[in-house]
């Protein structure tokens, strides 16, 4: 079994894993910026970095789940998301859910599955 893992700075987990042509990842704002729009943008940059490390990119996203600590922040998150994701041919299946993210600082976490390039 050829599984590639990009370990997280948190004990016991990986930020990204690739197997059988698919990349699985979690994205968050490592800086813990102030506000949902800033945290969303930082999380999406983090996601792009991890996708690249696994031979993928945002155009290859298949499924995304966005976890928000407060669903009233969804319109601001959507604004940053729509600017980042680009034209509709790039749109993955996406869900957004409210969740307790464990602390007062973390406003967003994003999980995703993407196809890897065939090269």
Task: Give this prediction's pTM.
Answer: 0.92
Rounded CA-CA distance 19/11 in Å is: 21
Rounded CA-CA distance 103/89 in Å is: 35
Rounded CA-CA distance 103/86 in Å is: 31
| Complete DSSP assignment for 48-103 | HHHHHHTT--GGGEEEEEEEES-GGGHHHHHHHHHHHH-SGGGPPEEEEEE---SS
pLDDT tens series, the chain, 119 aa: 799 999 988 889 999 999 999 999 999 999 989 999 999 999 999 999 999 999 999 999 999 999 999 999 999 999 999 999 999 998 999 999 999 998 989 999 999 999 998 65
């Amino acid at each position: 079994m050829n599984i590639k893992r990009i370990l997280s700075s948190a004990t016991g987990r990986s930020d990204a894993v690739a197997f059988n042509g698919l990349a699985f990842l979690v994205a968050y704002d490592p800086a813990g910026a102030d506000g949902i729009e800033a945290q969303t943008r930082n999380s999406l940059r983090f996601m792009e970095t991890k996708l690249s490390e696994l031979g993928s990119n945002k155009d290859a996203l298949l499924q995304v789940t966005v976890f928000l600590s407060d669903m009233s922040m969804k319109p601001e998150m959507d604004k940053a998301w729509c600017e980042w994701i680009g034209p509709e041919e790039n749109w993955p299946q996406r869900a957004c859910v409210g969740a307790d993210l464990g602390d007062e600082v973390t406003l967003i976490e994003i999980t995703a599955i993407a196809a890897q390039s065939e090269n």
